[in-house]
Chain A
């Protein structure tokens, strides 16, 4: 094996793995079980899992059609649309949170209308957490699904169309089953990103235990006074991510 590749590869691996090892080494193993079952930890964990899952569902609902639009139609200005879709990928999440506040806040462009008409105010609610997570995570899904759509053989769709299937039927019965692994891969990425979301969430949804305090927020605030608690929370988050990724590994690796 050529060493100019091997050495940086091992350094890269160490760089990624060592911080995780640090968490394991510094973890207060003795008090771990009792710390993990504290109500506030379970509450944050439950909230994180629920919001990340709902956010992923929302991303699937909106993101798959968006990916289809980008991959299968001659939309005018499609490159611009794709660029806009990927903006949240490069945007610092805090900026995303500020933007969400300015649009969906009680005094925001759309939010003030929602508030006046329906009395709905999204910031500081669990719905707000879901929106913040979906905003940051959706591009991951769209890009993955668009890639899968482009790689899929369009002749099957054309064949179905010549046999009289409508575009909706073709999408549902031919396209979607064909790109299902890609959609799953995108959904996993999207879910993982939503689970770890911090900046947009704390900015748009605030921080309140049981309502908007997800695991990353709990880790951040625990770090201020009780680093051991922060380590425990981090370990829990890490364990959940690893378990989910491992459970989905076969399909995931098969398509990535």
Chain B
């Protein structure tokens, strides 16, 4: 799936290059040599960053952008253990702090905000309509583990609502949580709004008022140990640019 996406991205970049020809907005890359950029990004950024990676490749000929999507906590651990990454985009300031505390990144910038939604299967078998419905004894709920940002946000929202939910599972990242809803194995889950949108109508998202208590800031930073510091900075610039903002807003993120 991801492989096919990359193939599509590569193809698209070749096509768009061919189309641009020698016009003025031609590739900005100076070297022209094949280089690669490695971006570690929160699982919830999968769709929007894949799109931004495609755009980046089309304006930097010969550059290949590789993504490692996963729970921000796992990615932060991998980076502090020496994983060769150029850019880190986290789903929470806490996971970014792991990396800045280790001296591997400085001055991260918050580029988007994300909020939670209740995700239910399209036929909503347990008739979930509000956060309170999640406490029902027969309602199977999946949450993210509290160690990962979406789980921390879910805990905050439930606390704010004064509710105690007993989930059937605490998943290791937000995409795994969403998958359990997609397959209809759980009746509801708390995931990001962006994940509901990314599922393309396979699950239904339900807003709830307590969501304001659980807004996640997403920080991004080029890493000080980046093998390709120049490209890393340019990719961060793209994410922070209006063009980047458009892609992220379309995916359901909110401007910081």
Chain A residues with CB under 8 Å of chain B are 101-102, 105-107, 121, 123-124, 202, 205-209, 212-213, 220-221, 223-225, 227
Pick the contact of A225: B147, B171, B186 (CB < 8 A): B147
- Contact: A208 with B168, CB < 8 Å? yes
- Number of residues from B at the complex interface, CB < 8 A: 21
- Contact: B170 with A107, CB < 8 Å? no
Residues of A within 8 A of B169 (CB): 124, 205-208, 212
Residues of B within 8 A of A206 (CB): 142, 168-171, 180
B212 to chain A, nearest CB (A): 26
- Contact: B73 with A224, CB < 8 Å? yes
25 contacts between A and B (CB under 8 A): A105-B183, A105-B184, A107-B184, A121-B140, A121-B185, A124-B168, A124-B169, A124-B185, A124-B186, A202-B176, A206-B168, A207-B145, A208-B167, A208-B168, A208-B169, A208-B170, A209-B170, A221-B145, A221-B170, A221-B172, A223-B74, A224-B71, A224-B73, A224-B148, A224-B172
- Contact: A207 with B73, CB < 8 Å? no
How far, in angstroms, from A206 to B171 measured CA to CA in the complex?
7
How far, in angstroms, from A209 to B168 measured CA to CA in the complex?
10
Interface of A is mostly: loop
Residues of A within 8 A of B172 (CB): 202, 207, 220-221, 224
How far, in angstroms, from A170 to B32 measured CA to CA in the complex?
75
Residues of B within 8 A of A212 (CB): 169
Q: Which of B119-141 contact A (CB under 8 A)?
A: 140
Pick the contact of A107: B147, B167, B185 (CB < 8 A): B185
Q: Which of B155-200 contact A (CB under 8 A)?
A: 167-172, 176, 180, 183-186
Residues of B within 8 A of A101 (CB): 183, 185
Residues of A within 8 A of B148 (CB): 224
How far, in angstroms, from A124 to B168 measured CA to CA in the complex?
6
Instruction: Using A124-B169, A124-B185 as known contacts, list a sample of 4 further A-B pairs with CB atoms less than 8 Å apart, ordered by residue number in A.
Output: A102-B183, A107-B185, A206-B169, A224-B148
- Contact: B73 with A107, CB < 8 Å? no
Pick the contact of B74: A123, A208, A209, A224 (CB < 8 A): A224
A38 to chain B, nearest CB (A): 16
Pick the contact of B77: A202, A207, A208, A224 (CB < 8 A): A224
- Contact: B140 with A124, CB < 8 Å? yes
How far, in angstroms, from A256 to B162 measured CA to CA in the complex?
58
Residues of A within 8 A of B186 (CB): 124
Residues of B within 8 A of A202 (CB): 172, 176
